[in-house]
Amino acid sequence: MDKLVYVLRSLPETGRFAAWAVGFLLLTLLVPRVAGATGDVERGKNLFALAGGCGCHTSQDGPVGAGGGEAPTPFGTFYGTNITPDEETGIGSWSDEEIEAAIRRGENRDGVETPAMPYYWYSGMSDEDLADLIAYLRSLQPVHRPNRPHEGEVPLERWAYRFWRWWFAPRFEPARQSPAGGMERGRYLADHVSICGDCHTPRSRFGAPLLSMHHAGTKNGPGDKSVPNITPDATGIAEWDSADLLNLLRTGFTPEFDNVQGYMADVIEGHGGGPGYRDAREEDLRDIAEYLKTIRPIEHEVD
């Protein structure tokens, strides 16, 4: 390093400036963007709530983030991993860069993650929000609980997951900061934090989301349950206004005074004692509700 500084100082002033500029650019490109970022735990808790408490990583009995939540798929049942800061069974020994790679790129210490972890949606999460979320995960109570292997066989699974990511996974470019508010923030939260489309979008036989039917509902959702159309079509939520949607996200009650069940109830109430939609900032839920009323209506009847 001393020799490098000496060489730079010996250059003419213009050459020295150019060399420093190139060096700074290389550092900017090569160093992970969340490296060294100081996240805010309270903002991270709000994001965790908007993500439905990252429910797959918490069993119904808790503790929060200790793993064990079921994700049934046509390719077997997968179980959420331990994301508490336990040194041996959780992410306590992981760097921020490793956590970022798992959340946004689907890469962990064992290789490429299963598509049951919707990293491709989270790939659009902003750098600032990701740093806040990581800070919150590090604040959880450490729980020593080994991860549970998935049930079902996928031939050459790690190669299969890598191929699936390359061929089927949508790709999004994250911004430094998320939108501050309004419709654009609602879109960002719905697509990259709450990931509404992960459940409300039909999938191909290979488990890839059919983006032409984004949010149009499916008869074969998680656990082979039907998931409703949430586009503003007559077969969806055309008769609802944004206040109806906000009330649903906050309380779980529809305009017909029915209450949601299953996975939707879990993400609203939170898993295993953790935060859910009902614990998130009302302004964020309102932005999501208003955004959903603006998306393209898609005619798709789901029983």
- CA–CA separation, 35 and 12 (whole Å): 33
Report residue 248 as tokens.
């649903």
* Cβ atoms of 43 and 280 closer than 8 Å: no
Q: What is the pLDDT of residues 120-165, one digit of tens each?
A: 999 999 999 999 999 999 999 999 999 998 887 677 888 899 999 9
Report residue 214 as tokens.
């984004």
Of the candidates 105, 97, 103, the one whose C-alpha atom is nearest the C-alpha of residue 83 is: 103
Region 10-23 average pLDDT: 46
* Cβ atoms of 289 and 283 closer than 8 Å: no
Q: What is the pLDDT of residues 32-88, one digit of tens each?
A: 445 456 899 999 999 999 999 898 999 988 999 999 998 888 778 899 999 999 999
- CA–CA separation, 119 and 81 (whole Å): 14
pTM score of the predicted model: 0.86
The residue to which tokens 């079509």 are assigned: 233
Given a cut of 80, whether residue 12 has pLDDT beyond it is no
Q: What is the pLDDT of residues 187-244, one digit of tens each?
A: 999 999 999 999 999 999 999 999 999 999 999 888 788 999 999 999 999 999 999 9
How far apart, in Å, are the Cα atoms of 219 and each of 80, 103, 207, 210, 276?
Answer: 23, 28, 14, 14, 25
